[in-house]
Structures are given as structure tokens and as C-alpha cells.
Amino acid sequence: MTDVLVCVKRVPDASGEVVLTPDGSSVDGRYAGYTMSAHEECAVEIAASVAGESGGSVTVLTLGDDDSVEQLRAALAVGAHEAVRVDAVADDYGPADVAAAIAEVVRSREASGSGFGLVLVGNDAADTGDHQVGIRLAHLLDRPVVAGAQQVAISGDRVDVRVGTAAGTEVYDLPLPAVLTVLEGGVEPRYPNISGRMKAKKAPIEVVEPAVVPQGSGRLGLRVLPPPESNVELLGEGAAAAPRLVEVLREMGVVR
């Protein structure tokens, strides 16, 4: 039985225009939808699958304000059993702070006899792209860690991890407990069904106070790049544009 902790982050949905707050310190939430990172959607899927196969449980955790409950409920709707929110202003927390806050929750659960055999985090968040929370967490907990996990299988007290690379699939075999950072691409996140949504809506969310004083990320300010000036040259419309397009390809020297 493997109990899994999966950590998710509320991030601005960057599929639309990104607008900053007037002081340039963060993304203005009034103009952004929010979601969880694609990697974390896959982490939730892996957690649900691993726990389901072994009769274990999935606890989903986030660090943020009350609004981030939305992402916890999204995970509860697709298979997580419990949810924990570390009550904090996420922007005040750098990656080392987040890792320390998660480590405290893991230690606290261990002390109460309900530790996690596997901790999953996204490979990198869609907003800050830090690539380091999971690895810092592993060092704090003194556990092995693999980054970029795409497929995970538990066998007894070990975990088989597969990582896609340019050269092929790298296979790892680790002892539990372990930490994995999950990369999109190995599994298909499931969609919530109606009963999942209803259950998630009513599920209790445990709120804990952070046990760390955040040092921050060193952020001095943000700026949105102005949209590049369009200098597009229209080659034509429909099939009639083909000769001109091929002419351009020949000029570029890409036709063999």
C-alpha cells in the first residue's frame, strides 16, 4: 500500500493575454484564469493510478491563499482522497521556501504515523518554471529523487520510474520512500465525472500554517514583452498561394 502526496500549484492560465499588476510585481489575477500546471495534472493522474493499484491513498497539497482551493478540488475530483492547503501568500515564497514548507508537512505526517511512500511534484511550474522544488524537497527529506518522471510503477518497496529523453527512455529503480518530479507526456490526465465533481465540492480541506519564514525568490520585478510588430508578408490565399510559397522555400534553400 503506497500513500502518495502530490503537490500542485495554482498558476495563471497563460493561453490568453498576460497582464501584470500596476507595480509589475506579479500577474494580475483580475485578468487571468487559473489552472494547475500540465505536469501536475499528470502527477495527479500518476498518484491516483499508483495509489489505486496498491490500495493506498492520495493526498493533494498546495501552498497558497483560499482561492487555491479550486486546484485542490480539481485534484479531488479526479482521484485524490484528501487535500491540504498550506495557508500562505504564494508570491512571497521562493522555490526553497516551498520545498521547506512541503517538507514540514511530510515530516509532520510521518510523526503522526501516516507518512508518504511517494511524493510527486510537477517538474516545473507553468508560471515560475523553477525546476528545483522537488529536488530541494528530496534533499530536505534525505530521499532519492528522479526528475522528469513520466511513467511510474510500484513493486513492493521499490518504484520503477521511466523518463523520456532524446536518446530513448531512461529507466530508474529506486527504493521507497522517494520523491519524483513529473513531466507531461507519459500519462493522460483523466477528466472529472459528475460524481467526482460533487464529491470534491463537499470534501473537507485541511488548512495548515506554514512552518517556515519565506526568504523569497529574489524577484525584483516583471515586465511583459511588447508584442512584436507584425511584418508578415501574405503569400496568397488557399491553393493558389502554393507557387509563391514554394518560391519562398526555394529562396530559403530548404527544398531538396
| Shortest Cβ 153–other proteins spacing (Å) | 13
Footprint (CB under 8 A) of other proteins, residues 67-96: 94-96
Closest residue by Cα to residue 65 from 34, 39, 96: 34
| Shortest Cβ 234–other proteins spacing (Å) | 6
| Cell numbers given for 34 | 487559473
* 30 is a site residue for other proteins (CB under 8 A): no
Footprint (CB under 8 A) of other proteins, residues 94-153: 94-96, 99, 124, 126-132, 135-136, 138-140, 144-148
Q: Can you tell me which residue has the cell 512584436?
A: 228
* 38 is a site residue for other proteins (CB under 8 A): yes
**For residues 99 and 97, what is the distance between their CA atoms, to the nearest angstrom?**
5
| Shortest Cβ 256–other proteins spacing (Å) | 5
**For residues 173 and 151, what is the distance between their CA atoms, to the nearest angstrom?**
12
Contact 137, 175 (CB under 8 A): no
Taking the least distance from each CB to other proteins, the nearer of 140 and 205 is 140
Binding map of other proteins across residues 172-211, x = CB under 8 A, - = no contact: xxxx--x----xxxx-x-----------------------
Closest residue by Cα to residue 97 from 207, 212, 9: 212
* 14 is a site residue for other proteins (CB under 8 A): yes
Q: How far apart are the first and last CA of the chain?
A: 57
